[in-house]
Structure 1
Amino acid sequence: MSESSKGSPLAFGQVVIGPPGSGKTTYCHGMQEFMGRIGRKVAVVNLDPANEGMPYSCAVDISELITLSDVMENLKLGPNGGLIYCMEYLEANFDWLQEKLAAFRGHYYLFDCPGQVELYTHHDALKNVFAQLAKWNFRLAAVHLVDSHYCTDPGKFISVLCTSLSTMLHVELPHVNVLSKMDLIEQYGKLAFNLDYYTEVLDLSYLVDHLASDPFFRNYRRLNAKLVEVIEDYSLVSFVPLNVQDKDSMRQVMQAVDKANGCSFGDQEHRSLEALMSAAVGADFHFTSTLAVQEKYVQSQDKTVEEEVMDM
């Protein structure tokens, strides 16, 4: 690959970002396996210098260049400052990254990124790394993972919407927001609204009204209303639900990302995908149904309404 994009073949991929614990590494593992089953050659690039014991097959690992533990020990930095230093060090060593990536021409790339939110909202190091990849003819989409448990708390969900919007505007890549761990959503508590309200980010005034019923948030109604107004004015944020163990859910996310980064969808891959979707699942890849989770939740809501009617 040359410094300029001229003469370089197109390379497609995803930069997987999101706060700590949102499931980025698990997502990369699941997507690597899913894409491998439909015949797509995948190279996972670990850009998180704190990532240890990765479950996926790692093609390029930033720990060969720098690690967070070394930075913290030698420079006496905390974890946040250390991560920023590591990303700036990566930015200063593009030649290392270019050489490592060149060994995987013809692959689809998954970049497993650190979980520090500041790196995606106002710090420029990773943004500059993504821009350099674009100069090398990489066509990337940002996959921003958010833990679905935030849906159970209206205040936290507004915060997530603000963070997602800020990330979209700062990173400057085609963007797919994903609500991860959908198979666990019922364990987090009852949702105030139906699931599509959160994925489609529908009329947020209902969320502000719901918050106003809480004495703690009542004094912040005007602030929440203004935050919601900003989110709705941009009208950019929506989410794709994801259960990484559900093949239909993985297919929907993959196709959303393919549409965002312009990745072509060949006939052979299409046939492989159709065969995978219709075939019985092997014991080594256990799927549950995200749709079933949603249906079950909707049914439980309907039952609650019926019970309320009977009580009246």
Structure 2
Amino acid sequence: MGSKYGTIIMGPAGAGKTTFCSALIQHLRNNKRSCYYINLDPAAEDFVYEPDLDIKELITLEDVMEELHLGPNGGLIYCFEFLLENLDFITDPLEQVGEEYLIIIDMPGQIELYTHVPIVPSLVKALTKGNLNISMCAAYLLESTFIVDRAKFFAGTLSAMSAMLMVELPHVNILSKMDLVKGQVARKELKRYIEPDISLLQDVGDSGLVYEYKDGVDAGQVEEVVAGDAFGRLNRAVGQLIDDFSLVSFLKLDVQDEDSVGAILSYIDDAIQFHEAQEPREPNDDLEVEEHEMG
């Protein structure tokens, strides 16, 4: 049995996971590569590319909330518990997927699934072990607009690190929607977010960001909150934790730029060793073909 390869797309709500999946599928098609698209968000409705496998054919969040009187968070966890009890829904179709395919799994935006409860780790183990034995990489998206609020950015970074430790997969972290912050932050300043620099939490007043506060929100009040002693100590403790582990760095993603999407894909391919398993060619293969054509 040949190897199988895949990536699981995670991250908080609004990070652009489904948009990234669509851009990734389009890039693969443009480069004549095959993919198998799985939607595991039981509340998702609109897709640029229809999934090859959709959890809504098994269970939907709307039905669960209506029948069991659960809220969206509890309903989503129930949907995944139900999926784990009916794993053949996802494992049986994947047994037919060949090694030339990239399996793309689009996840919902409830970060508790990746950071608090062992549901996604259980799903990952089912896919990466046993008969399927999928070589898989996790891609965790964080919206780039988080860099406007440094405390929020480091909280997002901490959630990414938590997901890395919980899921236990080769991992790429991605700052999505880079087009939204274009021109708002200097390139030199951006590097401090790509490789999170905890000193960012110590010089809030000299941020280098160009940010227009919304009506009714006073910049002075925001700075006062950020500079609060208790809040500041909490932020520094979180930053120090991230710095001590040195696990999190980010790739930049602009889904409108095909080169940007291609660069992310190359990191995913490296993490799952996709190209190493493709049909090898001997150094003299091309020469033999040329000689055959000339003869």
TM-score (norm 1): 0.78
* Structure 1 residue corresponding to 2:178, chosen from 151, 172, 182: 182
* Cα drift, residue 124 of structure 1: 1.0
Q: 1:217 aligns with which of 214, 223, 226?
A: 226
Q: Does residue 105 of structure 2 align to residue 102 of structure 1?
A: no
Which of 242, 257, 260 in structure 2 is aligned with 1:231?
242
Give how far 1:191 is off: 6.6
1-structure distance, mates of 2:44, 2:224: 41
Q: Which of 244, 251, 274 lines up with 1:263 in the alignment?
A: 274
- Is it true that 1:197 corresponds to 2:185 in the alignment? no
Distance, in Å, in 2 between the alignment partners of 1:43 and 1:228 is 38
Q: Which residue of 2 aligns with 1:66?
A: 59
1:15 aligned partner = 8
For 2:252, the aligned partner's letter is: P
- Whether 1:115 aligns to 2:109 is yes
State the partner residue of 1:128.
122
CA apart distance, 1:193 = 6.2
More off after superposition, 126-135 vs 217-226 = 217-226
Contact 2:201 2:235 in 1 (8 A): no
Match for residue 82 of structure 1? 75
Q: 1:17 & 1:191 partners in 2: Cα distance?
A: 28
Query: Does the residue aligned with 2:173 lie in a helix, a strand or coil?
Result: strand
CA distance in 2, matches of 1:138, 1:93: 19
**Structure 1 Cα separation of the partners of residues 90 and 147 of structure 2:** 37
Structure 1 residues 234 and 55, CA gap change in structure 2 (3 angstroms)? same
SS of 2:203's partner is helix
Secondary structure of the equivalent of 1:28? helix
Match in the other structure for 2:49: 56
Counterpart of 1:134, as a letter, is T
1:232–1:211 distance in 2 versus 1, CA, 3 Å: farther
Q: Which residue of 1 aligns with 2:255?
A: 244
Q: Distance in 2 between matches of 1:181 and 1:197?
A: 17
The alpha-carbon distance between structure 1 residues 192 and 240, as it changes in their structure 2 partners (threshold 3 A), is closer
Alignment: residue pair count = 259
Structure 1 gaps of 5+ residues are: 1-7, 269-312
Residue 82 of structure 1, CA deviation: 0.4
CA distance in 2, matches of 1:236, 1:40: 31
Name the aligned partner's letter for residue 245 of structure 2: Y
The residue number in structure 1 matching 2:20 is: 27
Shift of 1:208: 2.8
Supply the distance in 1 between the matched residues of 2:273 and 2:204 (Cα, whole angstroms): 39
Of the three residues 81, 85, 91, the one matched with 2:84 is: 91
Distance in 2 between residues matched to 1:226 and 1:193, nearest whole Å: 25
Distance verdict in 2 for CA 1:208–1:171, change over 3 Å: farther
Q: Given residue 147 of structure 1, which amino acid in structure 2 is its aligned partner?
A: E
CA distance in 1, matches of 2:61, 2:239: 37
Name 2:202's counterpart in structure 1.
Answer: 208
Q: Using a 3 Å threshold, how does the CA distance of structure 1 residues 100 and 267 change in structure 2: closer, same or farther?
A: closer
Output the amino acid matched with 2:157. Answer: L
Instruction: Please list the CA deviations of residues 264-287 of structure 1 after superposition, one character each: whole Å capped at 9, or x if unmatched.
Output: 16699xxxxxxxxxxxxxxxxxxx
Give how far 1:214 is off: 2.3
RMSD: 2.1
Whole-Å separation in 1 of the counterparts to 2:24 and 2:90:
22
- Gap change, CA 1:197 and 1:97, over 3 Å in 2: same
Could you tell me whether the CA contact under 8 Å between 1:91 and 1:126 is conserved in 2?
A: no
Q: Distance in 2 between matches of 1:191 and 1:20?
A: 27
Q: CA deviation at 1:183?
A: 1.1
Q: Given that residues 60 and 101 in structure 1 are in contact (C-alpha distance below 8 angstroms), is that contact kept between their aligned partners in structure 2?
A: no
Whether the 8 Å contact between 1:151 and 1:191 is mirrored in structure 2 is no
Q: Spell out, residue by residue over 1:223-267, the C-alpha distance to the aligned partner (whole angstroms, 9 max, x if none).
A: 211111100010000000000121111111011111112211669
